[in-house]
Amino acid sequence: MAREICLRLLTDRARTRQELAQALRRKGIPDDAAATVLARFDEVGLIDDAAFAGQWVRSRHTHRGLARRAIAVELRRKGVADEVAGEALAEVDGESEERRARELVDRKLRSLKVASAEQQTVAGRRLVGMLARKGYGAAVAYRVVREALAEHGADVEELDGAEPPDD
């Protein structure tokens, strides 16, 4: 029974050992049976937290636009060891993180009005908030938003007074 549950879950997407253990616990599988099945799956390579973490980092950064900070929280929740998560997160450097933040801001700016000073201020706050929710640090968020608004002809002095120090 435990084997079938794990195989079914793994057909949807890769899972961490902790995710599978939790699923087996929810299904009422005894701990010793779960441990045996998980050990065997680990042995044959069906469970690989390092591979999962690498795949998760690439997917969440590329498709959802999440920053390293937000992805690290997700990996921790999924039971990936901090050391393994750190290695996977090393794939996303500061430059690619900032580039992805800029892509998100540019895409969102297309749907925002920034003609008046008030609209520019509101758009700036919304854009910084969007980046913050995706895990980007304040310094990166303000810099990227200021640059994007400036390129769209906005007066960025409104954001200058609110910018936090570098993180």
Q: What's the average model confidence in pLDDT over 139-152?
A: 92
User: Confidence band (pLDDT; 50, 70, 90) for 159?
Assistant: low
3-state secondary structure of 14: coil
- CA–CA distance, 75 with 88 (Å, rounded to integer): 10
Q: Of 56-70, 112-126, 147-161, give the range with the top mean pLDDT.
A: 56-70
Residue with token string 């901090």:
82
For a pLDDT cut of 70, what percent of the chain falls above it?
91
- CA–CA distance, 35 with 77 (Å, rounded to integer): 20
Is it the case that residue 8 has pLDDT exceeding 90?
Answer: yes
- CA–CA distance, 159 with 132 (Å, rounded to integer): 15
CB 20 within 8 A of CB 6: yes
CB 85 within 8 A of CB 75: yes
Q: What's the average model confidence in pLDDT over 84-95?
A: 94
Is it the case that residue 165 has pLDDT exceeding 50?
Answer: no
CB 139 within 8 A of CB 112: no
Mean pLDDT over each residue of the chain, to the nearest integer: 89
Q: What pTM, to 2 d.p., does this model score?
A: 0.82
- Cα–Cα distances (Å) from 153 to 17, 36, 95, 150, in that order, read 50, 62, 24, 5
* Number of alpha carbons in the 13 Å side-chain half-sphere of residue 100: 22
Q: What's the average model confidence in pLDDT over 54-67?
A: 95
Q: Please tell me what DSSP assigns to residue 78.
A: T
| Predicted local confidence at residue 62, as pLDDT | 93
| Predicted local confidence at residue 164, as pLDDT | 53
Write out pLDDT tens, residues 94-131: 999 999 999 999 999 888 877 788 888 889 999 999 99
Q: What's the average model confidence in pLDDT over 7-20?
A: 92
Is it the case that residue 80 has pLDDT exceeding 90?
Answer: yes
- CA–CA distance, 163 with 167 (Å, rounded to integer): 11
- The candidate with the shortest Cα–Cα distance to 75, out of 16, 11, 137, is 16
